[in-house]
Amino acid sequence: MNMLKEEKVSVRFVISTMWISIICLYLYNDFFSLFPPGNIQGIMDGMMGPFEVSQAGLFFAALLMLVPILMIFLTTVLPAKINRISNMILGVLYAFVMIGSLSGEGWAYYIFVGIVEIVLSLLITWYAWKWPKEG
């Protein structure tokens, strides 16, 4: 019987793909947030969820999404020590960001995807914590 060879996957690759998954899930949730009744009208009235749309608010939202997007790349190129620390910190931080965004949300799809995002964020922290040592 031919056995398939198991390939060792780099921790950098695993963490980077989790950042990709998280950003895809953010986009999914944001896109489908347009569909509940009244949300498009709220956008047209200048509201972004419970927040009034402003330059500062949109800039902050852009920064919030820029970090995971950059971490896809940075995880592949940063030195191991900086990589490990930044992924542990940002993994926990983005878990809390998602926990905060779930408060007051009643739609099941958003809560479900949000929980998956939290799990992935914590897995990033876990994989970074367990980063292989030399020797």
pLDDT class for 55, splitting at 50, 70, 90? very high
44 in a structural domain? no
Q: Is the pLDDT of residue 50 over 90?
A: no
- What is the distance between the alpha carbons of residues 47 and 7, in angstroms, rounded to a whole number? 48
Give domain status of residue 10, yes or no: no
Predicted confidence at residue 113, as pLDDT, reads 95
Measured distance CA(44)–CA(134) in Å, rounded: 55
Q: Give 115 or 104, the one with higher predicted confidence.
A: 115
Q: Check residue 18 and give its pLDDT.
A: 98
Nearest of 127, 104, 96 to residue 19 by alpha carbon = 127
The confidence score (pLDDT) of residue 104 equals: 77
Domain encompassing residue 74: 21-33+52-129
**43 part of a folded domain:** no
What is the 8-class DSSP label of residue 45? T
41 found inside a domain: no
* Four-point Cα dihedral 32, 110, 102, 127, nearest 10: -110
Q: What is the pLDDT of residues 96-112, one digit of tens each?
A: 999 998 887 789 999 99
| Residue 134 in domain | no
Residue 12 domain-assigned (yes or no): no
Based on the structure, what is the number of domains in the chain?
A: 1
Question: Cβ of 94: how many Cβ atoms within 10 Å?
Answer: 24
- For the cut 80, the answer to whether the pLDDT of residue 49 exceeds it is no
Residues 46-63 as b/e (b if ≥16 CB within 10 A, e otherwise) read eeeeeeeeeeeeeeeeee
